[in-house]
């Protein structure tokens, strides 16, 4: 018998508004398939890679075309989920009255230092089921980026790994380029 309580995204939002979750410096939660999931604290390499991806996003994206969201939630009400990816590019509009939904998402990036199995498994299935068309997982240990595209049937039909000198272009902003090797170079280069 499971002791897990299933929450809807509306219940989760009401709990947030009511201050149910005490702020804890290192612990964050996300709602995945109606279950509260404690997120693993991030390490220094994860932080540096996310810093680079954030800087890359702001420097490469056309001005005022996209919102760059860092560790903020995406709403997937049909799946009772509000994941908090490391980085998301979303359609530029006002989200004060509700988080972006899958229809707003142009790109999701997860930096995976200790959660690779979850990010390539359950989280990939969640994003695919939501119809997110461009999902990247930065595999810190293997210095690669696993790109998921063409969601169908609860999975992705196209999964490709990009390594060091490969060139990677986001689906919805193809004029922007990323070379994975850049993520593992010194910050001052």
State the average pLDDT for the chain: 88
Q: Which two structure tokens, joined as six digits, stand for 121?
A: 């498994």
Cβ neighbours of residue 123 closer than 8 Å, sequence gap 6 or more: 32, 83, 110
Pick the CATH number of 43-184 from 3.40.605.10, 3.40.50.10330, 3.90.1570.10, 3.40.190.10: 3.90.1570.10
The two tokens of residue 29 are 């939660």
Mean pLDDT of 140-167: 95
Per-residue pLDDT of 91-144, as tens digits, reads 999 999 889 999 999 999 999 988 999 999 999 999 999 999 999 999 999 999
The separation between the first and the last C-alpha atoms of the chain, rounded to the nearest angstrom, is 54
Q: How far apart are CA 13 and CA 162, in angstroms?
A: 37
pTM, full prediction? 0.87
CA distances from 41 to 44, 83, 117 (A): 10, 15, 16
CB neighbours (10 Å) of residue 80? 18
Tokens 């800087």 belong to residue: 55
- pLDDT above 80 (res 73): yes
Could you give the angle at the alpha carbon of 136 between the alpha carbons of 129 and 52, nearest 5°?
A: 145
């Amino acid at each position: 018998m499971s002791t897990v309580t299933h929450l809807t995204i509306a219940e989760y939002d009401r709990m947030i508004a009511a201050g149910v979750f005490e702020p804890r410096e290192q612990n964050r939660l996300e709602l995945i398939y109606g279950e509260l999931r404690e997120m693993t604290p991030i390490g220094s390499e994860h932080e540096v890679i996310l810093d680079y991806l954030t800087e890359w996003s702001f420097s490469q994206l056309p001005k005022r075309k996209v919102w760059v969201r860092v560790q903020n939630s995406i709403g997937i009400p049909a799946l009772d989920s509000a994941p908090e990816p490391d980085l998301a590019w979303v359609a530029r509009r006002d989200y004060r009255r509700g988080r972006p939904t899958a229809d707003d998402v142009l790109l999701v990036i997860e930096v995976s230092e200790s959660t690779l199995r979850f990010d390539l498994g359950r989280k990939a299935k969640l994003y695919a089921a939501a119809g997110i068309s461009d999902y990247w997982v930065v595999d810190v240990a293997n210095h690669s980026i696993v790109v998921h595209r063409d969601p169908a049937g609860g999975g992705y039909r196209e999964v490709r790994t990009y390594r060091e000198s490969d060139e990677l272009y986001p689906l919805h902003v193809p004029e922007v380029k990323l070379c994975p090797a850049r993520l593992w170079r010194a910050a001052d280069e």
